[in-house]
Amino acid sequence: MSDLTSTPSLWLEALVGALDEFALVALGLECDASAPKPAPTNADLLGASVDITTGDVSVRLGFLSTAEGRLAITRAFLAFGPDEEAPPEELVQDVIREIINVLAGGVKQRMTDTAPGDFWLGIPHELSGMSASGTAKNLASTELKLGGVPARLVTILEHRVT
Amino acid sequence: MKILVVDDSAAMRMIVMRTIRMAGFTGHTFVEAGNGLEGLDMVETARPDLILLDWNMPKMTGLEMLTRLKEQGKDIPAGFVTSEGTPEMRQRASDAGALFLINKPFTVESFQMALEMVMP
């Protein structure tokens, strides 16, 4: 295992880079690294996560936003016009899971460049703000704005028992 | 031409079909499947002329589905639309018989380039 892959902040940096690219290419939105004020509370945040593993390290990559934010991001992702009805919650969850899936692919590409090795992606799952918070050394997160709506990116690193 | 889109995200299937039309490939019909197993069933029932596959899906991955089709002697043109875009994954896709790999996030142009050799 590379020391690099044991650094949560390095994974977070790759995740931010992947979101920057995704926002531009797929959403047509600006990704603004300045934190929203006030920052949303953990209870207000919901999103999705996917695990990426390499060697004995497993990293959970998370993307979270508020209900309004997730709706706005979904509308942008699906290129909904202003007159189109709001997408149902099931479709919103599907879009958020797909977004973290695409971001994970971007992280994998970036980490492969940084620390060559085998990286394996899992299947996306729902993630709550409450379960993706804390100050543990294995967790790194950043608040940002995506097209003006609040979002949080999270990386949670675990050493797998093999 | 009948195109089978296999992806566990209904939203992504919607976007893939829309992007194909935006790329100028109009007049084609689409059928959908949510994973590789459903995709194999859809090949039997719908007889598609082209298959677009996601890579990571529950129950059966796109790579496993393509491998199974080749083992069955079904040589249907197929390619991946996936977030798995590393050189290693591109090689694995090619080795399995995929004609192209479109990396997510994609553009209309990336679909034009990939599909112009397999679609009229």
Q: Do B11 and A78 touch (CB under 8 A)?
A: yes
Q: Rounded mean pLDDT of A142-157?
A: 93
What is the pLDDT at residue B120?
73
**Is cis: bond before A38, omega within 30 of 0?**
yes
Residue A78 forms contact with B (CB below 8 Å):
yes
CA distances from A77 to A17, A67, B22 (A): 18, 15, 15
ipTM of the complex: 0.89
pLDDT in tens, A28-73: 999 998 877 878 888 899 999 999 999 889 999 999 999 999 999 9
Q: Do A91 and B10 touch (CB under 8 A)?
A: yes
The yes-or-no verdict on residue A78 having pLDDT over 90 is yes
Strand B50-53 relative to strand A46-54, pairing:
unpaired
Percent of chain A with pLDDT over 70: 93
Per-residue pLDDT of chain B (120 residues; tens, 9 = 90+): 999 999 999 999 999 999 999 999 999 999 999 999 999 999 999 999 999 999 999 999 999 999 999 999 999 999 999 998 888 999 999 999 999 999 999 999 999 999 998 987
The yes-or-no verdict on residue A1 having pLDDT over 80 is no
Which residues share a beta bridge with A49? A62, A125
Whole-angstrom distance, CA of residue A13 vs CA of residue A107: 9
Question: Smallest Cα–Cα separation from A12: which of A138, A134, A122?
Answer: A138
Q: Is A104 helix (H, G, I), strand (E, B) or coil?
A: helix
Q: Do B105 and A98 touch (CB under 8 A)?
A: no
A145 to chain B, minimum CA–CA distance in Å? 19
What is the pLDDT at residue A8?
85
Provide the token pair at B2.
């009948």
What is the pLDDT at residue B114?
96
| pTM of structure | 0.91
The yes-or-no verdict on residue A115 having pLDDT over 70 is yes
Whole-angstrom distance, CA of residue B54 vs CA of residue A104: 14
